[in-house]
Amino acid sequence: MVRNMLPSLQAATRLARTATRPNVLKPRWEGALQCTKRDFSITPCRPLMETSGFTDEQLTVRDAIFKICENFPDEYWMERDQTETYPHELHAALAKDGWLGIALPENLGGSGLGISEATMMLQSIAESGAGLAGAQSIHANVYATQPVSKFATEDQRDRFLRKIISGEWRTCFGVTEPNTGLETLKLKTLATPTQDGSGYHISGQKIWISSAQVATKMVLLARTTPLEDVKKPSEGLSMFYIDFDLNAPGLEAKKIKKMGGRAVDANQVFFENYFVPKDALIGEEGQGFKIILHGMNAERCLLAGEALGLGYAALDKATTYAKERVVFGRPIGQNQAIQHPLASAFMHLEAAKLATYHAARLYDRSSPSHPEHDSSITSHAVGVACNSAKYLAAEAAFTACERSVMSMGGMGYAAEYHVERYLRECFVPRLAPVSREMIMNFIGEKALGLPRSY
Ligand SMILES: Cc1cc2nc3c(=O)[nH]c(=O)nc-3n(C[C@H](O)[C@H](O)[C@H](O)COP(=O)(O)OP(=O)(O)OC[C@H]3O[C@@H](n4cnc5c(N)ncnc54)[C@H](O)[C@@H]3O)c2cc1C
CA of 13 from ligand 1 middle (Å) equals 36
Q: Are residues 146 and 263 in the same domain?
A: no
Out of 286, 306, 340, pick the residue that ends a domain: 286
- Taking only the tens place, the pLDDT of each residue in 110-157 is 999 999 999 999 999 999 999 999 999 999 999 999 999 999 999 999
Asked if 125 and 67 count as a contact pair (C-beta separation under 8 A), the reply is no
Assess if residue 434 is contained within a domain. Answer: yes
CATH number of the CATH domain containing 66: 1.10.540.10
pTM, two decimal places: 0.91
Question: 154 alpha carbon to ligand 1 midpoint, in Å?
Answer: 34
Task: Spell out a b/e string for 400-420, using b for 16 or more CB atoms within 10 Å of the CB, else e.
Answer: bbbbbbbbbeeebeeeebbbb
Q: What is the pLDDT of residue 46?
A: 56
* Per-residue model confidence as pLDDT tens digits over 261-312: 999 999 999 999 999 999 999 999 999 999 998 889 999 999 999 999 999 9
Same domain as 105, residue 210: no
Interacting residues of 412 by C-beta distance below 8 A, sequence separation 6+: 318, 404, 405, 406, 419, 420
Q: Are residues 443 and 372 in the same domain?
A: yes
Is there a single domain that holds both residue 160 and residue 177?
no
49 domain residue, yes or no: no
Query: Is residue 33 domain-resident?
Result: no
Name the residue of 172, 207, 208 to mutate for ligand 1: max ligand atoms within 8 A of Cβ.
Answer: 208
Q: Are 147 and 187 within one domain?
A: no
Pocket test for ligand 1, best of 176, 265, 293, 425 (most atoms within 8 A of CB): 176
Of 148, 166, 184, which residue is a domain's last? 166
Residues 162 and 212 reside in one and the same domain: no
Last residue of a domain, one of 149, 166, 183: 166
Q: How many domains does the chain have?
A: 3
Q: Residue 256 contacts by C-beta under 8 Å, 6 or more apart in sequence? A: 207, 208, 266, 267, 268
Show the ligand 1 pocket: residues with CB < 6 angstroms.
Answer: 172-176, 181-182, 208-210, 258, 261, 266, 428, 431-435, 437-438, 441, 454
Q: Domain range holding 388?
A: 288-448
Inter-axis angle of helices 379-407 and 336-365, to 10 degrees?
A: 160
**How many angstroms separate the alpha carbon of residue 177 from the centre of ligand 1?**
9
Minimal-distance CA residue to ligand 1 atom 36: 437
What are the tens digits of pLDDT across the range 197-237? Answer: 999 999 999 999 999 999 999 999 999 999 999 999 999 99
